[in-house]
Amino acid sequence: MIDTLPSRKYPAIILITGNMASGKSSVAQALTERLPKSVHLRGDVFRRMIVSGQADMTFELSIEAQQQLQLRYDLAVVAAKRYADAGFTVVYQDIVIGSVLAELVAAFAPYELTVIVLCPRAEVVAARDQARGNTGYPDRASVDAFDRVLRTETPRIGCWLDSSDLTLTETVDTILANCV
């Protein structure tokens, strides 16, 4: 149980979320490397485990994609709690936007959770996505659609950070100083 753990300097679980190409993976890895006894839990690893029958994760999710996404979140919650029970600080990184953010936060109760929402400007996300070898968005309109969901449909839970003009180190420094 979480109640039996000694008091921590950092939250048991830190959720880093935001849209594709917002910097979640890089920030989560860099943050994890700066924390003692920590784990970087990548939510997308559960999706990549599906060898056959993987649903496409597009803006308009099919019923099967919704079910697979919920399974991914459920597995990540269980894994994060198990690592936290073992005394690790868990930095869980995944795309959790829209109303599902509140549902996922509730699933972590009663564990100590900090939520970090990376929200760089849409044009920055588009440029970052284009710079990656494997782009996640089919076009700029998709970047804007996801940005709209993030900014207008996602509950204002946790620490929201516009990392548009920050380096990776500056982003992690800001998180450590102001969010955890």
The closest alpha carbon to 130, from 2, 10, 20, belongs to: 20
Prediction pTM value = 0.90
Domain boundaries defined on the chain: 2-178
Confidence at residue 113, expressed as pLDDT on a 0 to 100 scale: 96
Mean pLDDT by runs of 10 across the 180 residues of the chain is: 48 94 97 96 89 78 87 96 96 96 96 97 95 85 95 97 97 96
The sign of the CA dihedral 149, 150, 151, 157 is: positive
Which CATH number, 3.40.50.12160, 3.20.20.60, 3.40.50.300, 1.10.3470.10, labels domain 2-178? 3.40.50.300
